[in-house]
Amino acid sequence: MEHLEDYLPFWEKLSERHRQELESSAQIRRFPSGEVLHGGAEDCVGLLLVIEGRLRVYTTSEEGRELTLFRLFERDLCLFSASCIVNSIRFDVTIAAERETCAFHIPAAVYKKLMAESAAVAGYTNELMASRFSEVMWLMDQILYQKMDVRLAALLVEEADLADSEDLHLTHEELANHLGSAREVITRLLKYFQEEGVVSLARGRIRLTDRPRLEQIAAPGLR
- Give least dist CB 196 to a second copy, A: 25
Q: Mention every residue, 6+ apart, whose C-beta is less than 8 A from residue 218.
A: 150, 153, 154, 156, 157
Contact residues for a second copy, defined by CB under 8 A: 59, 61-63, 65, 67, 86-91, 115-123, 125-134, 136-141, 143-145, 180, 221
- Contact by Cβ (8 Å): 36, 95: yes
Nearest to 178 by CA among 189, 166, 186: 186
- Amino acid letter for position 175: L
Q: Which is nearer to a second copy, 78 or 199 (CB)?
A: 78
Distance (Å, rounded) from C-alpha 213 to C-alpha 97?
31
Per DSSP, the three-state class of 158 is helix
> Would you say how long the chain is, in residues?
223
- Between 112 and 198, whose beta carbon lies closer to a second copy? 112
Question: Cβ 59 to a second copy, closest distance in Å?
Answer: 7
Q: How far is the CB of 209 from a second copy (least distance, A)?
A: 31
Expressed in percent and rounded to 5, the helix, strand and coil fractions of the chain are 50, 25, 25
Give the nearest distance from C-beta 134 to a second copy in angstroms.
Answer: 4
**Residue number with CB closer to a second copy (73 or 138):** 138
Q: Which CB atom, from 58 or from 210, has the smaller least distance to a second copy? A: 58
Q: How far is the CB of 210 from a second copy (least distance, A)?
A: 27
Non-local (6+) Cβ contacts of 17 within 8 A are none
- Looking at the Cβ atoms of 139 and 206, the one nearer to a second copy is 139
